[in-house]
Structure 1
């Protein structure tokens, strides 16, 4: 058996197969696009299972890379739409996804209309690290997306799962808990990728409760303003955002908070009271 045939017989995620694909198509991982290709079958299966990829499930993926996770989900019977910006990957994906129920949308994931996906869509993806926050924010706001099971930097996963008062609690944390729940799944070592990233990664699942009243953009903006400058008091952050200081002080007291409380220590229930007192819907 020739070396080429031997490589073709290997699983798509095997290091030898990945290196063969890249070499044959004259490709190298693009650092600016956050391309780190998975080479661990156990991790691939864990992501697909955590996300609920199964027969008839509508799945949205961002950044398919070589199509390794994409193929895993499609072979489980999911209807996969995957977003890819790098046109250089077109011949690779035509090869690795041939014959599968996959719709490839070529373009920037930050410009995609997430409201256009079918109801009940689940996001399952190895997210490009450099746009993780903006993408998660878009998933949360898209009414037809019910969950997002994603591979992200471990630091981001810890931030998402943190609670008010934790050191890494911030706007993305508050937003995730505003829309639903966060469940850490598992850590992923650096050696599970080619090339190996500089940091440990984690799989985390976010479930969005679409039955609860969805927050207004005005309220989301207030939370963003409140948490914009870490280590500053809630009073000062809201004052800097343009709210009259007298009304801010009254709102903080009305919510039963200390005058010098920091925003990252304020539970969402009390943040809602502050917003109500300020007349923010």
Structure 2
């Protein structure tokens, strides 16, 4: 005798938390889905991690929250259950029936489309990003959040090495353009590391939760200065002088700017504080006077 197909009402996994491995596997199987590696789909299956992300991200009653890549809605439900007003961006339309099921009764607005094409400037004031970001577009998305005036913070799951770069300071091994970009927009706090086993399927790398707070009291960095910093830090282990010469700046002018800024001719770019880089940029006519905090 053929057994009837399991439904949310009759399936024994229906009483399990949404983040449980058995529940996640059942949802995927019932809806005929497989995680897509090209979209960075690794679903969280650890309730402690979910609660830690929502807590660190500031999910609370009435707070507008943006989530990128809700997947099966596991983190989404945790955020929404705290009373936050959630907007979720999802590219994979195969997930429509799943999210209709898992987010039923929740205050969540799902927008179907590419996160790289979304207008982040249109988000409501006071928005906080809380998301398990697709690893392959992490850097681009973080830059979009930084430049969106109504986004106050971003609490995100990223590769551990990306988290280390975000939090690094001049003179540290992991310092680079991403570190400088984060520092120019605010502050970074490491929340916790997340083992591979907290995901289904398990990713190839360890992850970390980090929170970026954006200081909206200061103007956005001058785009010309950002381009200068990127050029200065483009080649690790090279001197600042050589990096700037490779970017097209005249060697004599660079040498004079370094000397006037009180920097050694052989100083490495990753060892130079942002205030000193800004000083050099001013002397090279890249940007006007300003204060870098």
Larger-Rg structure? 2
Q: 2:57 aligns with which of 43, 51, 54?
A: 51
TM-score by length of 2: 0.93
Deviation at 1:60, TM superposition (A): 0.7
Q: Tell me the alpha carbon deviations over residues 4-57 of structure 1, each in whole angstroms, 9 at most, x when there is no partner.
A: 432111110001110010001000000111100000000000000000000000
Aligned to 1:280: 286
Please give the alpha-carbon distance, in whole angstroms, between the structure 2 residues aligned to 1:104 and 1:115: 18
Matches within 5 A, 1:1-281: 4-281=10-287
Shift of residue 213, structure 1, vs aligned partner: 2.5
User: C-alpha distance in 2, partners of 1:156/1:76?
Assistant: 28
The whole-number CA distance in structure 1 between the counterparts of 2:163 and 2:275 is 23
Q: For residues 240 and 142 of structure 1, what CA distance do their matches in structure 2 show?
A: 32
Measure, in 2, the Cα distance between the counterparts of 1:210 and 1:276.
23
Cα deviation per residue 1:204-251 (whole Å; 9 max; x = unaligned)? 000000101321111111111111111111111111212222221111
What is the alpha-carbon distance in structure 1 between the residues aligned to residue 87 and residue 255 of structure 2?
A: 48
Unaligned runs of 5+ in 2: 1-5, 288-293
Runs of 4+ in 1 over 6 A off after TM superposition: none
Cα deviation, 1:33-92, whole Å, max 9, x if unaligned, reads: 110000000000000000000000010111101000011111111011111111111111
Mapped to 1, the partners of 2:198 and 2:261 lie a distance apart of: 47
Deviations 1:160-201 (A, max 9, x none): 111101111110000001110010000111110000111111
- Output the aligned Cα RMSD: 1.2
Secondary structure, counterpart of 1:158 in structure 2: helix
Runs (5+) with no aligned partner, structure 1: none
Partner Cα distance (1:244, 1:91) in 2: 59
